[in-house]
Amino acid sequence: MRMSKEKFALLSARSDAEDFLEPLVDTLLANGLTASQVMSGVAASAELILRASLTDSGLPVNIKRGVILRTTNVKTEAQIIAKALIKKLTVANPDAVPPVSERGGRPAAVAERLAA
């Protein structure tokens, strides 16, 4: 199965956004902020990263609307990324999180799931 240029660019842009925002979201949640407190900021940041990455991929760009996608829009994708990151990085059981020295550089929530 061949992937269209748009789908490939969107997949790459999603990966960029997740990679850039994961440490930020992990830090925010680790310092006591809630998912509802960080959602809008994370989504806005994801949108900026998506727009930059998609523009670099050579997709059509409109001056007023930005990158033009046929199958979705950038705001929707940014919301999906923000929700997924927050869900992935939310610690369900703080007692199950291993010490930082035993996490191997992983975020607390990821280390918690691996330890279980």
Q: Which residue has the higher pLDDT, 22 or 100?
A: 22
Q: In angstroms, rounded to a whole number, what is the distance separating the alpha carbons of residues 88 and 91?
A: 8
Work out the pLDDT band at 97, boundaries 50, 70, 90. confident
Looking up tokens 């806005």 gives 44
What pLDDT, on the 0 to 100 scale, is given for residue 14?
A: 93
Q: How many CB atoms lie within 10 A of CB 21?
A: 22
8 CB contacts (<8 Å, ≥6 apart)? 57
Q: Indicate the pLDDT class of residue 70, thresholds 50, 70 and 90.
A: confident
Provide the whole-model pTM. Answer: 0.82
**If you count them, how many residues does the chain have?**
116
Residue 87 burial by Cβ neighbours in a 10 Å radius (0-12, 13-18, 19+): exposed
DSSP 64: T
Q: Where are the domains of the chain?
A: 5-115
Q: Lowest-confidence range among 4-8, 47-51, 66-70?
A: 66-70
- Reported as a single tens digit per residue, the pLDDT across 60-69 is 777 677 777 7
User: pLDDT category, 21, cuts 50, 70, 90?
Assistant: very high
